[in-house]
Structure 1
């Protein structure tokens, strides 16, 4: 039985194995790497606007991000991660959804990239 090089899960010989950067990884780790949502995706924005439920379909974590941005205005990534206690990969995945729904966006404040509400008067 082999072990995934990324997460350490045991993989049976009948399981699908993938090679990623020279390592044998499980299907979940492979998909996490190749299926990362892209923030700047016009087709995703179009699709989200046509088929999305707006804020009704958001996860609790996505709602917490929006609440934080509403209360704190534009803020840098580090402050968001610290305040919400989440890792960068989770934030970026959730932020891509919020961006596609045109609920949140990134903006420059001075020389720093900050995140804010899409329709915010402060940015």
Structure 2
């Protein structure tokens, strides 16, 4: 067996331990992560999360992890944040921040919003005022 570098995470693995997912070769950890990525617009996940939170009497950020609360508070305080801003602020990789955003989306706490030519993540109840910059 020959050792190779996983192009996704940079970890050294045996060449026999690479998997091909959507035309890209990666180690087993990266392949598992790619296959199990939460989808932000999953109707059933939203229904389950909102019904569960409602039945437990949870409101706002109750029931979230400290990291999820911090991400939500950052998004709210800035009236929107790009993926890059979130990655930099929380020192997380893209896939890690996307997982946290998906959970916030399922709880109807945050959502994506197009501002000009970029996508920003905003609080669920955010409304953009036309003709005024919110940042």
Compared with structure 1, are the counterparts of its residues 87 and 19 closer, same or farther at alpha carbon in structure 2 (3 Å cutoff)?
A: closer
Correspondence 1:43-54 to 2 at 5 A: 43-52=44-53, 54=58
> How far, CA to CA, are the matches of 1:22 and 1:86 in structure 2?
22
RMSD of Structure 2 on Structure 1 (CA): 2.8
Q: Does the 8 Å CA contact 2:46/2:108 hold for their aligned counterparts?
A: yes
Structure 2 unaligned regions, length at least 5? 130-135
Deviations 1:21-80 (A, max 9, x none): 575733x33321100001111111111111236533212211111110111112222222
Compared with structure 1, are the counterparts of its residues 5 and 47 closer, same or farther at alpha carbon in structure 2 (3 Å cutoff)?
A: farther
Q: Does the 8 Å CA contact 1:5/1:23 hold for their aligned counterparts?
A: no
Q: Does the 8 Å CA contact 2:40/2:105 hold for their aligned counterparts?
A: yes
TM-score by length of 2: 0.70
> How far, CA to CA, are the matches of 2:68 and 2:97 in structure 1?
9
1:76 aligns with 2:82: yes
Q: Does the 8 Å CA contact 1:74/1:115 hold for their aligned counterparts?
A: yes
TM-score by length of 1: 0.76
Structure 1 unaligned regions, length at least 5? 11-16
> How far, CA to CA, are the matches of 1:122 and 1:47 in structure 2?
28
Match of 2:105 in 1: 99
Q: Does the 8 Å CA contact 2:68/2:100 hold for their aligned counterparts?
A: yes
